[in-house]
């Protein structure tokens, strides 16, 4: 019959080929209303934006010229190559120090946070605490500790380590929880204590994951160290980037430093991949 229809998951289609949309639900109305409100606020924001008399096409043209200077005419004038490499090493040192300290504490607390290795109440408390730590950005932790230690490398190391611990505890504990429960039960049945279970089953089985997560955090800490060098006066290549952009206004030097940071990040990625592959082969 002409009035009959075939039901589907998202709509109703009649035999005449017409589509009848399903009746709106409260949730769909709320989502659509929110999207329309956000769209309206966005349009209003662009209309009320004070451009200070800057023409759009002129601004785009100037931006392209600046990008050309940064990445196609990159050069250095306020430091030598030797000094630049030394500053890169300082940034590497900040990242390595915070990663080593953070991974040490995260490994211990990660074992306690894993539900298959610890008490559920203890696991919940630790996971809730580190969730709060991760919710606060690294730069804010650095500025919080800078109140006591002052701006510099000390506040940067403490703040970055604090956030590293929160990040790695979650990563490590989830890796430990993926371990086969039968292995742990078999070791318990054979009389193994908690430390023997950890060193004979948990750590060997999770070594590849632990290394991967640690290197990921090391790469994150390297980029954070660059930012902290500019924002918190921690030194390193980040401070040179701050001076080139905010003090000397030298776009060519900014581009050169950007290439240095990019090249360093590529080296980190290659090293982490080789170490991970070597560990997999040895296992």
Over residues 60-101, the pLDDT tens digits come to: 888 899 888 888 888 888 888 888 889 999 999 999 999 999
Quote the CA–CA distance of 159 and 130 in Å, as a whole number.
14
In this structure, the dihedral spanned by the alpha carbons of residues 28, 30, 36 and 41, taken in order and rounded to 10 degrees, is: -150
Q: Tell me the average pLDDT across 19-41.
A: 80
Residue 7 has pLDDT above 70, yes or no: no
Confidence of residue 2 (pLDDT cuts 50, 70, 90): very low
Quote the CA–CA distance of 163 and 130 in Å, as a whole number.
9
Quote the CA–CA distance of 120 and 173 in Å, as a whole number.
13
Q: Please indicate whether residue 45 or residue 254 has the higher confidence score (pLDDT).
A: 254
Which of the given ranges, 129-133, 230-234, 245-249, has the highest pLDDT on average? Answer: 129-133
CB 217 within 8 A of CB 128: no
Confidence of residue 4 (pLDDT cuts 50, 70, 90): very low
103-112, 240-249, 271-280: which range is least confident on average?
271-280
Confidence of residue 18 (pLDDT cuts 50, 70, 90): low
Q: Which two tokens stand for residue 40?
A: 């309206």
In what helix (H) or strand (E) does residue 7 lie, and over which residues does it extend? Answer: strand 5-7
pLDDT of residue 108: 92
Q: Which two tokens stand for residue 150?
A: 């002052």
pLDDT of residue 256: 92
pLDDT of residue 45: 81
- Please tell me whether residue 89 adopts helix, strand or coil conformation: helix
Report yes or no on whether pTM surpasses 0.85.
Answer: no
Q: How far does Cα 219 stand from its chain's mean position?
A: 9
Q: Tell me the average pLDDT across 247-260.
A: 89
pLDDT of residue 283: 57
Q: Tell me the average pLDDT across 55-62.
A: 80
Q: Which residues are within 8 A (CB) of 136 and not within 5 positions of it... i.e. 6 or more apart? A: 163
Confidence of residue 21 (pLDDT cuts 50, 70, 90): low
Q: Tell me the average pLDDT across 22-45.
A: 84
- Please tell me whether residue 53 adopts helix, strand or coil conformation: coil
Strands of 19-21's sheet in order across: 5-7, 11-14, 19-21
The closest alpha carbon to 226, from 150, 160, 158, belongs to 160
pLDDT of residue 37: 93
Residue 6 has pLDDT above 50, yes or no: no
CB 99 within 8 A of CB 218: yes
pLDDT of residue 5: 45
Q: In the beta sheet, which residues pair with residue 12?
A: 7, 20
């Amino acid at each position: 019959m002409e009035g009959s229809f075939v039901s589907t998951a998202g709509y109703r289609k009649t035999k005449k080929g017409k589509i009848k949309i399903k009746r709106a639900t409260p949730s769909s109305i709320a989502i659509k209303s929110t999207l329309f409100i956000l769209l309206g606020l966005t349009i209003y924001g662009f209309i009320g934006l004070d451009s200070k008399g800057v023409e759009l096409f002129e601004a785009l043209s100037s931006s392209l010229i600046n990008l050309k200077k940064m990445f196609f005419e990159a050069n250095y004038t306020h430091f030598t190559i030797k000094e630049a490499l030394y500053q890169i090493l300082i940034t590497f040192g900040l990242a390595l120090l915070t990663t080593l300290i953070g991974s040490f504490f995260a490994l211990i607390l990660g074992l306690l946070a894993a539900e298959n290795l610890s008490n559920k109440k203890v696991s919940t408390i630790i996971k809730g605490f580190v969730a709060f730590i991760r919710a606060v950005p690294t730069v804010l932790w650095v500025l919080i500790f800078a109140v006591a230690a002052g701006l510099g490398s000390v506040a940067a190391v403490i703040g970055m380590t604090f956030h590293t611990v929160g990040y790695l505890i979650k990563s490590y504990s989830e890796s430990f929880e993926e371990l086969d429960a039968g292995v742990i039960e078999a070791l318990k049945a054979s009389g193994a204590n908690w430390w023997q279970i950890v060193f004979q089953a948990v750590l060997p089985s999770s070594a590849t994951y632990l290394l991967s997560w640690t290197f990921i955090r090391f790469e994150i800490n390297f980029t954070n160290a660059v930012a902290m060098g500019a924002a918190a006066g921690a030194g390193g290549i980040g401070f040179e980037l701050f001076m080139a952009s905010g003090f000397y206004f030298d776009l060519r030097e900014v581009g050169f430093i950007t290439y240095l940071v990019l090249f360093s990040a590529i080296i980190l990625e290659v090293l982490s991949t080789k170490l991970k592959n070597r560990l997999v082969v040895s296992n």
